[in-house]
Each structure stands twice: as C-alpha cells, then as structure tokens.
Structure 1
Amino acid sequence: MASRYRGTLYIGVTARLYDRVLEHKSGTGGEFTLKYGVKTLVWYEHHDTMESAILRETRLKVWKRAWKIELIELFNPDWFDQHENIDYRPAQGAY
C-alpha cells in the first residue's frame, strides 16, 4: 500500500485483502497507515498458505526502498489503486 505515487509504503499480510484495504481507506488500518495516509493498494500477491505469505512479508520488509518501487512498477507502473481489481482465487485458503 502507498500514500501516493512513490510515497510512503506499507507492507502487510491478510487473509481478507479487500476488507483490509477498506479499513486502510477509512482510517482504521492502524496507527502507521493513519499517520502517513497509506490508503492506496498499489501491489499485492497471493500465497497458498499463511506461512508463505508471512515469510514473503518478512523478506520484503527488509528490502531496499528502490527494490520495492521496482516491484510495484513491474506490476503497476502508474501506481493506480488496485482495490477494485483484486483477483480473487477460487481456491480455499489463498492468502
């Protein structure tokens, strides 16, 4: 999630992405997101297990900012809000 184009970035993990983004947009996403206005879903990925999602989150959080921006821009070069474009996996238990 981002505050704006190349702005403040937030990385998190959830089993309910659509609803979690709504929380960020409404200002109930947590202190960090409220303080920095992180309300735009600019990148996401699915995982088959919560364990793999948490492992990926942990690794991404220590990446250099430039690497995170490159990852976002490969997926979403214009930094458009992806909230309404979330592709839901029909498989039960996808994160």
Structure 2
Amino acid sequence: MATATNSLISCNSVFAWIAAIACALLLIPLIAMQLKDSVNWSTADFAVMGALIFVAGSSFVLIARKVNPSRRLAVGALVLALFLYVWAELAVGVFTSLGS
C-alpha cells in the first residue's frame, strides 16, 4: 500500500487527477443550483472554489513529496485546516471582513 501511494504522489499525472476531482466536486453546487433557488453561485464562485480545491490538493502533493512518508498524515491535516480556514474566511469572514 505504501508503494502505491508513493508512486501516485511522485507521478506528475496526479495533478490531472486533482483537477478532475475539483471539477467533480464543483458539480455538487451546480446540480444544487438546478434543484433549489437558495443555491446561487456565480461564475467567480466556481472559479475561486475550483482554484482553492486545486491549490490545496497540489500543495499536499508537493509537500508530501518532500517530507518523510510517516509525516504525510500531519501534512494532510495541516493542508485541510488551511483549506477550511480560507473557505470560511471567503464565505463569511470569521476573523476578517473578507466574506462580508
């Protein structure tokens, strides 16, 4: 299992997979917009969220290539925490007025 993970992270095609996953995740609000009037995303919202997902995934891969494999879980937790922080700031401005 560890060798499969190492080979996936070291392969450059992982960035295409990250882009595909980002697009697949963006289908959720797109479909929700078709079903509910309360979901109202603009093109900029899709672009920002797609970039945020792609940057978070790419950051994890690039950092995971540099660190010891035993530290990848900690790197993943850190990247996830930063992703959630930026998402919350852009959505509602928890600590600043970015989302307001």
Q: TM-score, normalised by structure 1?
A: 0.31
Q: Which has the higher contact order (CA 8 A, sep 6+)?
A: 1
Query: Per residue, is there more helix in 1 or in 2?
Result: 2
Work out which of the two has the higher radius of gyration on C-alpha atoms and give 1 or 2.
Answer: 2
Q: TM-score, normalised by structure 2?
A: 0.30
